[in-house]
Amino acid sequence: MVKISEEFTVGNELGFHARPAALFVKTANSFQSEILVKKGEEEVDGKSIINLLTLAAAKGEKITVTAKGKDSAEAIKSLKKILADTFKK
């Protein structure tokens, strides 16, 4: 199984809030790969908006996105774009 991880720093004032989290989840659900998001020691299912929001990722904090599965490369590429757009605002 292909596993790809990438780390991101939350760069926007509002943090990883509801709208970008919803977009992230919509995109994550379009891939077969398992998507995990980790902050510190806590790792959650990236296909659930509640799980993502309970991470409460605030400005300056780091999150790691991991995709496990056949389409993990495409998944990471798409999710990276969403996070890059979100965190630069």
- What residues make contact with other proteins under the rule CB under 8 A? 18-19, 22, 25-26, 29, 47-51, 53-54
**Side chain identity, residue 73:** A
Query: 55 or 65: whose CB is closer to other proteins?
Result: 55
Cβ at position 55, least distance to other proteins in Å: 12
* Separation CA 58–CA 32 (nearest Å): 28
Instruction: Tell me if residue 62 is catalytic.
Output: no
Provide, rounded to whole angstroms, the least separation between the CB of residue 76 and other proteins: 20
Nearer to other proteins among residue 39 and residue 47 (C-beta): 47
Q: What is the sign of the dihedral through the CA atoms of 72, 43, 58 and 52? A: positive
Largest CA distance in the chain: 36
